A and B are shown apart, each in its own frame.
Chain A
């Protein structure tokens, strides 16, 4: 846990990451609030707040008396949301740092092409 940021947000992000990378599949049961609290040594109310955020986003669904489950289509929704945030979160800082170091647009493109070899294939999925 990053001590300086609200923990419930980090709990929500971790669950989202697990859904995006497929380790928590659609339809699968998510860890309970008590399990999350025990694992991270955090207050159950804080863990519950993180879980509830995903419930209100429609990512998790509550089944009464059983627990929380990953909603159908949740992965697609999260992927779409992250694609929207991608430019601001990754491209803008990249370009700003490249400018600081004096790379021109051509050099930057070359670097991306070079490190992107292999990604192009996977990315088509």
Chain B
């Protein structure tokens, strides 16, 4: 039994609300008219290419930046320079800046003061798991160690909204698996809202309950991970049959070779059966594929 199942009322509550948010830097539009909600006790994946706007969105949710248009609310309030709200948010940023003289243990001591739900015993345990030299200055750490410091802070903060921005840079496959394992185990014991941005989609896709895909500043997919797995299929066969079958569907990607087409669509649960009746081949599509294909097509929807 995990604690999630016992608290149905909390699951439904809204933790974050992003409404029509845009962020411009001069003439560059980093985020364009994005709206979505984050509910309590769920793991979200924020997926997309480099420069798609993932970090910018996270910075706005963390209260580190203000939107140019639209509004961001976390726990019902604007998080920007709002201590009451930001104490309940932990943002493990990709390029976290620390004071020059800070050693790892200073970072963890500061985090302990900052986050009301901080678990020191758990932090100590994680420091050991990731083999971190607590007396070493942050400036002297390898990229992987810096990432591990972010992971320890993010997990031990137990913040009701915890965000990890590409938390694995410089970590090898073993250390990444350690992180995923610890994340799942701790999340089962201490449910909270987790937003994880990543390129390594295959590695984390099982962890995600909800998927947000952002492409060139715009939100292109906002859906439950399991529903996406069920709906995303790739259909191939003679081009005219494929065209007829996929005509009215949300088409994410298409390829043609020698009179044959392969089209990736978001369909309904019974579409695979219909496609097979028409003699078409149906393949399932992984989240990784789906994200890559949505980002390759340009305009959708």
On A, residues with C-beta under 8 Å from B are 1-8, 32-34, 37-38, 40-46, 48-49, 67
Contacts and interface: CB of A to CB of B under 8 A. Distances in A.
B232 interface: yes
Given A3-B205, A3-B288, A45-B42, A34 B226 contact: no
Given A4-B285, A33-B1, 17 more contacts: A3-B205, A3-B286, A7-B206, A7-B229, A32-B2, A33-B5, A34-B1, A38-B181, A38-B184, A41-B207, A42-B206, A42-B207, A44-B4, A44-B187, A46-B225, A48-B5, A67-B1
A45 B205 contact: no
Contact of A4 (B180, B185, B207, B283): B283
B188 interface: yes
Nearest to B183: A41
B133 to A, nearest CB: 28
B35 interface: no
Contact of B185 (A32, A38, A67): A38
Nearest to A40: B206
Contacts of B1: 32-34, 67
Interface of B: 1-2, 4-5, 42-43, 177, 180-181, 184-185, 187-188, 202, 205-209, 225-227, 229-230, 232, 283-288
A40 B180 CA distance: 11
A7 B284 CA distance: 13
A41 B185 CA distance: 9
Contacts of B180: 41
Contact of B209 (A2, A33, A41, A43): A43
Contacts of B207: 41-43
Contacts of A37: 2, 184, 188
Contacts of A38: 181, 184-185, 188
Contacts of A33: 1-2, 5, 188
Given A4-B229, A38-B181, A46 B206 contact: yes
Contact of B188 (A7, A40, A44): A44
B122 to A, nearest CB: 16
B60 to A, nearest CB: 25
Contact of A43 (B43, B227, B286): B43
A40 B202 CA distance: 13
4 smallest beta-carbon distances between A and B, as pairs: A4-B284, A3-B286, A42-B206, A44-B188
A70 to B, nearest CB: 17
12 contacts: A1-B206, A3-B205, A3-B288, A4-B283, A8-B226, A32-B2, A33-B188, A34-B188, A38-B185, A42-B184, A46-B206, A67-B1
A4 B205 CA distance: 10
A6 B229 contact: yes
A38 B180 CA distance: 9
B226 A7 contact: yes
A41 B203 CA distance: 9
Contacts of B187: 43-44
Contacts of A4: 229, 232, 283-286
A5 B43 contact: no
A48 B7 CA distance: 14
A7 B287 CA distance: 12
